[in-house]
Amino acid sequence: MNGSGIRLDGKIAVITGIGGGIGRSAALGFAAAGAAVVGCDINAAAAEETVLLAKEAGFSIQAMTGVDLGDPDQAADWIDEAAGVHGGIDILYNNASTQRFGPISELSVADWDFTMRNELDLVFYTTRAAWPHLVARGGGAVLNVGSIAALRGVEFTPQNAHGTAKGGVISLSLNLAVEGGPHGIRVNVISPGLIETDNTRQFIADPSDDTRAMLGRIPLQRHGQPSDIVDAAVFLCSDHATWITGANLVIDGGGSILG
């Protein structure tokens, strides 16, 4: 949920991957901040659970399911459908991604292609489709998700494909910030560190020396929560950030500043 106190009243926010983790928190947080949220997730049951959680909290979220954002036609059709729900798009939050890990000696070409498709290509497809809707609104905000793996090597698990894809997301965002400026479109990135979600909780709880060492490298001495990302996301997509574009905000408790 949004604990920043910053409002998004009157904004139409399109958010990908709302079925769990940071995406679910973002959908709930943006709705709590007053945005009209339209989300998607390939997992229908997970998306509907997010919709129910919003309803229980007194908010309304529209969700569309079964969308494969790695397919350019499906991504474009979904964006157009999402834009039609409330008559436009003010915010595009490209949260959805999935990846495969492995050392280069074991990672297959198929795994590499899968990661590029589902972490980089889908950001291009959805943003490309949303661009004319943002131009028609006289501007807006695009928020993409990078990773600290794009900024440094990661020692605790091989992330060559993931880091490369997220590096591409950051580079794409910088170039789109330049293209979007004349249209009033701001494009920013959030690069999270270790965030506790359903996918990482077991890893965080691992008592192994490697895990303890990794957490011990975070100056703020804790892993992150989805709210740490969502509060920053609300700010970057709000009218409080109208002169911020091309930024890559690293949110990792300071872990990436250590050599």
pLDDT score, position 150:
85
Closest CA relative to residue 86, chosen from 37, 157, 31, 26:
37
Domain housing 147: 12-245
pLDDT score, position 2:
57
Q: Give 39-93 pLDDT, tens digit per residue.
A: 999 999 999 999 999 999 999 999 999 999 999 999 999 999 999 999 999 999 9
Structural domain contains residue 2: no
Angle at 146 between CA 45 and CA 53, to 5 degrees: 25
Asked whether the predicted pLDDT for residue 259 surpasses 70, the reply is no
pLDDT score, position 213:
66
How many Å apart are CA 8 and CA 36, to the nearest integer?
Answer: 9
Specify the pTM. Answer: 0.93
Closest CA relative to residue 186, chosen from 258, 120, 238:
238
Asked whether the predicted pLDDT for residue 1 surpasses 60, the reply is no
Structural domain contains residue 7: no
CA distances from 145 to 45, 158, 166, 177 (A): 24, 19, 8, 14
Q: Give 162-181 pLDDT, tens digit per residue.
A: 999 999 999 999 999 999 99
pLDDT score, position 193:
87
Q: Give 151-161 pLDDT, tens digit per residue.
A: 888 776 778 99
> What CATH number does the domain containing 132 carry?
3.40.50.720
Burial 30-60 (b: 16+ CB within 10 A, else e): bbbbbbbbbbbbbeeebbebbbebbeeeebe
Going by pLDDT thresholds of 50, 70 and 90, the confidence category of residue 211 is low
Structural domain contains residue 18: yes
pLDDT score, position 157:
77
Going by pLDDT thresholds of 50, 70 and 90, the confidence category of residue 4 is low
Q: What is the mean pLDDT of residues 202-226?
A: 75
Structural domain contains residue 42: yes
Q: What is the mean pLDDT of residues 136-154?
A: 93
Asked whether the predicted pLDDT for residue 209 surpasses 60, the reply is no
Phi/psi for 232 (5° steps) reads -70, -35
Structural domain contains residue 36: yes
Counted domains in the chain: 1
Which DSSP helix (H) or strand (E) runs through 185? Answer: strand 185-192
Structural domain contains residue 71: yes
Asked whether the predicted pLDDT for residue 214 surpasses 80, the reply is no
Structural domain contains residue 175: yes
Structural domain contains residue 225: yes
Calculate the average pLDDT of the chain: 92
Q: What is the mean pLDDT of residues 107-126?
A: 97
